Chains A and B, each alone.
Chain A
């Protein structure tokens, strides 16, 4: 093999996997998604109360607290990795960007669908177009606006690359090729403006998701309730956003038996670990500084949750941050998943577990709610399975790319 293309498993280019779409796994996921959508219709017909375990105390259920608050953090990889590449100039990670951005747009889109199902009077969204009814004090308004803008404008544009590349393929008419090429040049010209937007908007709404719970005041357990919630939420989005990109890539390599550039991935895993440790230190310091550390150790449910989320972040983070991780992809995979679960638990806890509306209200998601929530996640999985097979998303080594993807593109033969 040529040394000019790097090592045999060094990722250099993104490539569509191709292959059959309707695999058994795809069909199962589709069934789950279809069930979720059918139940969404039922929710529109029967009202939110019939479709969820929400009540007047716990007015936000899985739709917002899990599918939006928690899962968009998991999908913050595109934004965190983008910052790494374009702001902190870790250019070598650029090859991972397409996967990260795809995960981001899918997780955010699923979140938006969930949000659409969750609101009770969606027709009044027309007022979003009329600035004088905007409540500039409202945290939720800021979240909604930033999230919509991020998904509709910034993420869409960032994800145009693979689409345009496909449209330039030989199977399309020449006119389409030319249009796509023109569009590519336009996108390239405006790219930095939108990338910068794609950094500032998630920074705003990922931190504001924390502010949302800060609004709940005394109704959130004091161990979790802090003015620092925006910072901790944002930091956690970075930690698990990066971690999840690695998880997705490792899993994709395992599933489709692709060569894995672990040298590259372990770098991200380590950064995620360092950020996780930083998060842990800030969180612990913050809880200690406010003098509520004792309330975290009163031997109740909250002690368990606090310990679970702290340890599930600390232990994997420390192990991931150690240099030895570059030798053990499988261990890292497990640690990253634990880190993701711990981080998701932290993002979810203030919204529901540590949320105490009083009067003995209690909440547990209903079956329909769980199935709908799962259906929205399945939608994102369908999107992922389809896109990586039909669009150049997943990173592969140059040799593999040259052997399998559109040989006509290779103008200059470089193979030894």
Chain B
């Protein structure tokens, strides 16, 4: 920034007076605005899944698209059924077009144009190990609770929808038509977990396409399935082991993950990248304080000079000085 600032000095007045603040000015400007160009995640910003973190494992090769999990989810969470496409024909079906404020869990179909490749996919909150929504939420309404479940607390939510902006999977949904709108997303059936039951979707699945367990167990299970049938699964990889810093919902798929709506995120959590970036700039709040101190010093000096000049002029003209 410094050189540009110098360029714009059209008149060289008061060079000596300014000279002593040169370094300070440049340093302050540089420290405020120049973050590390590289988006490397700092070691201390990496988060890990808590011990015994709950997880789900979903396998596209097993899913038959029966949608039992969709109905069970709605019943367990007391959500109004969404007639979706059928709203023009008597509202008889529950057919949400996507996750929305009435749907925390959905089965979608991926199909290529030629109809030769297709797969069902279950979408719900991924319960990231390092969730972007929790990082983004200003008043901690979203938090990562016991066993790593990402839960929403309506008493602290201001409805800013920053969670929706930040979620890489496009999961949190908002009640757009409500006066008292809520953020709606899968919360791992916390109320069922509390009484020792499994999440509704995992208990009704007829094929065990989605199963419930601890993250460690399910990762081992997924790797066992891959080892048992090399080449059956895309990339021989469990989605969610490392993607985006890891998720607590794991996916096995026979089609590329991007086809079923799972973006290739890299191993670093975006939340960690954001924190690293902010931390690089703010250094735990020290940078703003130091810069404030420096700015205050410079400002006080020049303000005094200015006031002296203004008072002189005021005495000369008899006019009140203007701040």
Contacts and interface: CB of A to CB of B under 8 A. Distances in A.
User: Are A and B close enough to touch in the complex, i.e. CB under 8 Å?
Assistant: yes
Interface of A: 13-14, 44-50, 54-57, 59-60, 85-89, 91, 94, 98, 118-122, 124-125, 127-128, 133-135, 137-142, 144, 160-161, 165, 168, 184, 187-188, 191-193, 195-197, 199-200, 203-204, 207-208, 211-212, 214-219, 227-228, 230-231, 234-235, 267, 270-271, 274-275, 277-278, 286, 289, 357-359, 361, 392, 398, 401, 409-412, 414
Given A48-B176, A414-B317, A120 B161 contact: yes
A165 B322 contact: yes
B320 A165 contact: yes
A86 B33 contact: no
- List 5 A-B pairs, minimum CB-CB distance, nearest first: A120-B159, A49-B176, A411-B318, A161-B323, A141-B138
Nearest to A184: B323
Nearest to A54: B176
Given A88-B25, A135-B137, A227-B39, A168 B132 contact: no
B161 A60 contact: yes
A217 B132 contact: yes
A140 B162 contact: yes
B236 interface: no
Nearest to B28: A87
A180 to B, nearest CB: 11
Taking residues whose C-beta sits less than 8 angstroms from the other chain, chain B's interface range is 35 or more
B99 interface: yes
> Which DSSP category, helix, strand, loop or mixed, fits chain A's interface?
helix
7 contacts: A49-B176, A60-B165, A120-B159, A120-B160, A134-B139, A211-B278, A227-B38
A215 B307 contact: no
Contacts of A137: 135, 271, 275, 278
B155 interface: yes
Given A133-B139, A216-B166, A188 B274 contact: no
A265 B14 CA distance: 20
B305 to A, nearest CB: 7
Given A88-B5, A192-B299, A139 B274 contact: yes
A237 to B, nearest CB: 11
A120 B158 contact: yes
B76 interface: no
A13 B170 contact: no
B171 to A, nearest CB: 9
B258 to A, nearest CB: 10
Interface string B23-46: 001000000111111110000000
B65 to A, nearest CB: 18
